[in-house]
Chain A
Amino acid sequence: MLNTLKNLIFITSLLLASTANAAVKISHWQTSTGAQVYFVENHDLPIIDLSVAFPAGSARDTKATSGVAGVTRYMMTLGADGMNEEAITNAFADIGANMGGELDVDRAAFKLRTLTSESAKALQTFNKILHKPDFPQAILEREKTRIVAGLKESATQPESIGSKAFMQALYPNHPYGMDESGEIETITAMKRDDLIAFYNTNYTAKSAVIALMGDMTEAQAKTIAEDAAKGLPQTAAVPKIAEVTYPQSANTQRIAHPASQAHIFLGYPGIKRGDADYFALYLGNYVLGGGGFVSRLTEEVREKRGLVYSVYSYFMPMAEVGPFQIGLQTKKEQADEATKVVNATVAKFIANGVTEKELKAAKDNIIGGFPMRIDSNAKILDYLSLIGFHKLPLTYLEDFNKSVAKVTAAQIKDAFQRRVKPEHFVSVTVGAQ
């Protein structure tokens, strides 16, 4: 053993250091059209990062329109205000700007990274995408064909099959259970008017969250945000997503597949963003299966027995209750053995909670690792958008370490016992024997 005392000295100095560096000064305001803006000024690099997010994720789809949210977001980038897809891409490429975006069950977002010197040009094209999407018919038909081909391929691959079955079983009557990519039938049936209607309902200024990071003054940020929001549909704010209902019994599915490994998914509805149990569950999960090489699941399943390359657990907090999920892949002959080890590890964890030593290790890692959460403009931008979208306090980053430090072993045990019910787990094994 290396000198443990020395190690402890390191940790002490770390706590001091990270507290001192926790400050990220966030400015927040509302545009005249009602969009929420979050801004951090930093002139170290001549870069401007911008993200505009809407509550327009796949949870806004219905079973009959599954996939519309994703196709709408993507199609917005393929034609706007008379610019075709080629012109749009080239407008960004000509100035070295990167336009991207993302979609999950809650959110649809557009992101822009540009050199400060090129920002006016970049924003001009970016705002056209936000404000005047054309949804060209021919492009839509082409993209539908591509998506359907992708869905057919996914339906043959064990990881995709399992993930889809897991979410459907976890959320049988909630939009979180739908595939973000849609279904072959709903994509095939999708009409241009569906996208226009979806855009007008869900891309409203009143629901927009604008995050800005980097090389601009607050006055400049105000103008950029005002311009980004004012061309959006000025319709009503988007309503909240329905509440999740919890499974009342276990649901175990075994799906045959010729792959050499079984893909195993276990879980239960977990937590929302801003949930009072968030920090207790987050720390507890670090010990159970979130802490990379030092978690109990990795120790039991990989390190002690060599059964897997990867085993993990996580809470995915969302606007409504997102999943608590455990996943692993193992040679199919040993799938039952591995599942047994996982179940025993989870049962023991829920019954007994964490030890004081484990709790300290978890806190040391999470608190000590805080500076790495905000060590780049790109990471800070993502936090701004997250804080804005889920209406977390502006002091979220500042308070983060304090919230972590306060959690007790008793709180973790209590939170897991109330929130995680292994007897009602959804369990999917693809490649079962």
Chain B
Amino acid sequence: MSHVISVFIENHRILERDFVFNIKILLLSLSLLPTLALAEIQEFKLANGMKIIVQEDRRAPVVVSQVWYRAGALDEVNGKTGVAHVLEHMMFKGTKTLKAGQFSRMIAAAGGKENAFTGQDYTCYFQQLEKSHLPLSIKLEADRMANLVITDAEFAKEIKVVMEERRWRTEDKPQSRVNEQFQSTAFKAHPYARPVVGWMNDLENMTAADAREWYNNWYAPNNATLVVVGDVKAANVVKLAKQHFGKLKAKKLPARKPQTEPPQMGERRLVVKAPGKLPYLAMGFHTPTLVDNPTTAEQGWEPYALDVLAGVMSGNDSARLNQKLVRETSVAIDVGAGYDSTSRGRESLFELVATPAEGKTVQDIEAALIAQIELIKTSGVTQQELDRVKAAVIAADVYQRDSMFYQAMQIGQLETMNYSWRLLKDYPEKLKAVTSEQIQAVAKKYLIKDNMTVATLDPQPIDPNVIPAKPYVR
């Protein structure tokens, strides 16, 4: 359901090691994309605490193997933002027995595709291979889980690559800059305020020792989950995992302090100026996520209601925002809404983004978005709209089984966020049970001005003769 918003949050939520690997990872927010009904998921745990989750799928003679670490931007501290992502890059730079780049060459020689990505909640490494090569993948991942070597020379080169990545993703993209500033305004205390790629200043001052410290802290079997989906036998996967990961020692992980965002006490606004032509607006409201053991009834159903609300607002081209704001009134040329019901930090935002049409201002678009929110509060949603969300849930449940990678992603994300993959089982039913009254209730409770952050882009004309000011960091 987060189709439009996925583009919006791509730049600060998940970074890939290489942008050639350009699948829409963010489409994988749980919304409308639940259960894995047919194939049964099997779960195991090694003595050292590593979790193994296998889903057998024999539709093609291939396998997806992903190692997920419960270490992401969420776990970083000020002054070292971006280190989770930098370490992800360093994971391809050699171990005690492998030279830099050798990992990639061995996977390539086996016909495999591989990459990695870092998000606020996790870091994930994956390979896609013809099924007989799973042992290679497991062996290599176990090796770099324990035996990584970070030399000063390799670090010095790779940190430059990461700074180029930041320039490419954020510095020169007006909307990315807005999104980064938006995030750090909506969140003040919580680590979600910080960009996954890190502030440029922190990257400029990062050292190989910082990367080593990160690796030593978080890379351990008891902080990792192996997810395998494909034409495999679960027992064989477990055997392989025991053989390679089983010999690694568990570590005492650093204490994770609970971090919560203090309640917002009034609306927050910011403006970003950057070269471009079109203005842009991002609006967000603090919202709850799913929790493990709900202590109130609201904790149980509110996230599902927010998810359905996002679907009613922008689940397809005839959903409310596009239909009213783009098609009927032409206030916007582009609009979307999104919400993630899950996160490891147990914080979420209900977000709306829009690009005003020519002759319209960001004020016009803000008023139009607020009007749509108010309409939900006063009149709720129709049965037809709810039925469409249900139809999408039922269909997506089947469609997703055409992609093994996607199925593995869902399992890995949930496990690493401290939920269970079992959440997937009930998800469609929970969404289907949402009522119009519940949607009204969450809109009234959370989509209110005192809980709102609004970021706008003020596009600046381009004068090629002017040398740009030093970017906003520093």
Any chain B CB within 8 A of the CB of A93?
Answer: yes
List the B side residues contacting A261 at CB < 8 Å: 164, 167-168, 171-172
B104 pairs with A371, CB closer than 8 A: no
A308 pairs with B164, CB closer than 8 A: yes
Beyond A1-B99, A93-B388, A376-B403, whether A303 also contacts B157 by CB under 8 A is yes
B62 pairs with A375, CB closer than 8 A: yes
List the B side residues contacting A260 at CB < 8 Å: 167, 171-172, 468, 471
A364 pairs with B110, CB closer than 8 A: yes
A14 pairs with B172, CB closer than 8 A: no
Q: A294 to B131, alpha carbons, bound, how many Å? A: 22
Name A395-424 residues within 8 Å CB distance of B. Answer: none
Per-position contact with B for A44-65: 1 when CB-CB < 8 Å, else 0?
1111000000000000000000
Any chain A CB within 8 A of the CB of B265?
Answer: no
Q: A3 to B460, alpha carbons, bound, how many Å? A: 57
Q: A153 to B279, alpha carbons, bound, how many Å? A: 10
| Residue on A nearest B92 in the bound complex, by CB | A293
A96 pairs with B391, CB closer than 8 A: yes
| Residue on B nearest A46 in the bound complex, by CB | B398
A361 pairs with B105, CB closer than 8 A: yes
List the A side residues contacting B402 at CB < 8 Å: 45, 47, 376-378
B61 pairs with A258, CB closer than 8 A: no
List the B side residues contacting A375 at CB < 8 Å: 59-60, 62, 404
| Residue on B nearest A310 in the bound complex, by CB | B19
Per-position contact with A for B456-474: 1 when CB-CB < 8 Å, else 0?
0001001111111001000
Other-chain contact of A306, B20, B157, B168 (Cβ < 8 Å): B157
Beyond A2-B98, A156-B276, whether A85 also contacts B113 by CB under 8 A is no
Any chain B CB within 8 A of the CB of A309?
Answer: yes
Q: A293 to B140, alpha carbons, bound, how many Å? A: 16
| Residue on A nearest B59 in the bound complex, by CB | A44
Any chain A CB within 8 A of the CB of B368?
Answer: no
B92 pairs with A13, CB closer than 8 A: no
Any chain B CB within 8 A of the CB of A150?
Answer: yes
Per-position contact with A for B377-395: 1 when CB-CB < 8 Å, else 0?
0000000100110011111
B109 pairs with A364, CB closer than 8 A: yes
Q: Chain B nearest CB: distance from A360 CB in Å?
A: 8
Q: A142 to B98, alpha carbons, bound, how many Å? A: 58
A371 pairs with B62, CB closer than 8 A: yes
Q: Chain B nearest CB: distance from A239 CB in Å?
A: 34
Q: A371 to B58, alpha carbons, bound, how many Å? A: 13
List the A side residues contacting B130 at CB < 8 Å: 14, 17-18, 368-372
Q: Chain B nearest CB: distance from A84 CB in Å?
A: 9
Q: Chain A nearest CB: distance from B294 CB in Å?
A: 29
B102 pairs with A149, CB closer than 8 A: no
B160 pairs with A329, CB closer than 8 A: no
Beyond A303-B100, A376-B403, whether A291 also contacts B168 by CB under 8 A is no
List the B side residues contacting A114 at CB < 8 Å: 395
Name A32-89 residues within 8 Å CB distance of B. Answer: 44-47, 85-86, 89
Q: Chain B nearest CB: distance from A362 CB in Å?
A: 9
Q: Chain A nearest CB: distance from B310 CB in Å?
A: 15
Beyond A256-B465, A376-B402, whether A89 also contacts B471 by CB under 8 A is no
In the complex, the number of residue pairs spanning A and B with C-beta atoms less than 8 Å apart equals 245
Other-chain contact of A153, B92, B278, B384 (Cβ < 8 Å): B278
List the A side residues contacting B236 at CB < 8 Å: none
Beyond A259-B172, A375-B60, whether A153 also contacts B276 by CB under 8 A is yes
Beyond A85-B318, A142-B330, A294-B105, whether A372 also contacts B110 by CB under 8 A is no
| Residue on A nearest B171 in the bound complex, by CB | A260
Q: A156 to B461, alpha carbons, bound, how many Å? A: 8
B277 pairs with A153, CB closer than 8 A: yes
| Residue on B nearest A365 in the bound complex, by CB | B108
Any chain A CB within 8 A of the CB of B165?
Answer: yes
Q: Chain A nearest CB: distance from B312 CB in Å?
A: 11
List the B side residues contacting A258 at CB < 8 Å: 275, 462-464, 466-468
Q: A121 to B165, alpha carbons, bound, how many Å? A: 46
Q: Chain B nearest CB: distance from A429 CB in Å?
A: 13
Q: A185 to B18, alpha carbons, bound, how many Å? A: 37
Any chain A CB within 8 A of the CB of B357?
Answer: yes
Interface residues, chain A, with chain B CB atoms under 8 Å away: 1-2, 7, 10-11, 13-14, 17-18, 21, 44-47, 85-86, 89-90, 92-98, 113-115, 118, 142, 145-146, 148-150, 152-153, 155-158, 256-261, 291-294, 299, 302-310, 312, 329-331, 361, 364-372, 374-378
Please list 15 pairs of residues, one from A and one from B, whose beta carbons are closer than 8 Å in the complex, sorted by A's number: A1-B99, A2-B139, A95-B391, A96-B391, A96-B394, A98-B395, A142-B330, A145-B358, A149-B278, A152-B277, A293-B108, A309-B161, A365-B109, A367-B111, A378-B402
A-B interface, 5 closest residue pairs, ranked by CB to CB distance from nearest: A368-B111, A96-B395, A256-B464, A306-B160, A89-B318
13 other A-B residue contacts (CB within 8 Å) besides A149-B278, A258-B464, A368-B110 = A2-B97, A2-B143, A11-B109, A18-B111, A90-B384, A98-B399, A152-B277, A261-B168, A293-B18, A304-B157, A306-B158, A309-B18, A331-B167
